[in-house]
Amino acid sequence: KLSDFGLAKLGPVGDKQHVSSRVMGTYGYCAPEYQRTGQLTIKSDVYSFGVVLLELITGRRVIDTTRPKAEQNLVTWAQPVFKEPSRFPELADPSLEGVFPEKALNQAVAVAAMCLQEEATVRPLISDVVTALGFLGTAPDGSISVPNYDDVPPPRQQANQTSGEDPVSAEERERAVAEAMEWGVASRAHSRNPSAANSRNPSTANSRNPSAAHSRNPSAS
């Protein structure tokens, strides 16, 4: 599912923010904006990675026609759960039989939820996703403690408000998303300058604008 279709293209250059191609790919993994418009951005691959991460978390296939109709599409089934952090454990692979570090699961789900946001511009950079998961995977207790988190306001661009969503749940989700993004920023700062990472200003670290990702030029697949 991760192999090349022979369709790899160089990423957008100059003032261009996307490349266009005939829509081809594996159903369930393609970003919604690519299905609608045929336009690929660096955030399209972030969405596809989020699908794979969600498969790993849940132990489910992205499309499973043997399940009840409402559960056949993995992302569609999981989206309502993303809005209620208290329900994140429902997404855990049943084969774990409930034995897992719940905080680590919640944080992994928060990363997947960020990658799978409908609006491409508010998805994180894949580099931040990688460092966040790497930081999570090496934490002694399987979870991350974010220093001075209370001083860091949740980024507005990460909020995914929907009509009828409970304000309390929305706020909790914003905090989970902001925390996940902070792992990536903290990890990158530490890898560059370990001594400075502990004294950095968290509000500065959280001022990144995901839309600035369009100025980067990786390949889109």
pTM of the model: 0.58
Domain holding 69: CATH number? Answer: 1.10.510.10
Q: Tell me, what DSSP letter sits at residue 100?
A: S
Q: How many domains does the chain have?
A: 1
Q: Is residue 115 part of a domain?
A: yes
Highest mean pLDDT among 33-37, 47-51, 100-104: 47-51
140-197 confidence digits (pLDDT tens): 555 544 433 333 333 344 434 444 545 555 555 555 555 665 555 555 555 555 554 4
Q: How confident is the model at residue 52 (pLDDT cuts 50, 70, 90)?
A: very high
Q: Is residue 26 part of a domain?
A: yes
Residue numbers of the domain that contains 62: 19-158+166-197
Q: Is residue 214 part of a domain?
A: no
> Residues near 181 by Cβ (< 8 Å), separated by ≥ 6?
114, 124, 128, 132, 155, 158, 206, 208
76/61 Cα distance (integer angstroms): 12
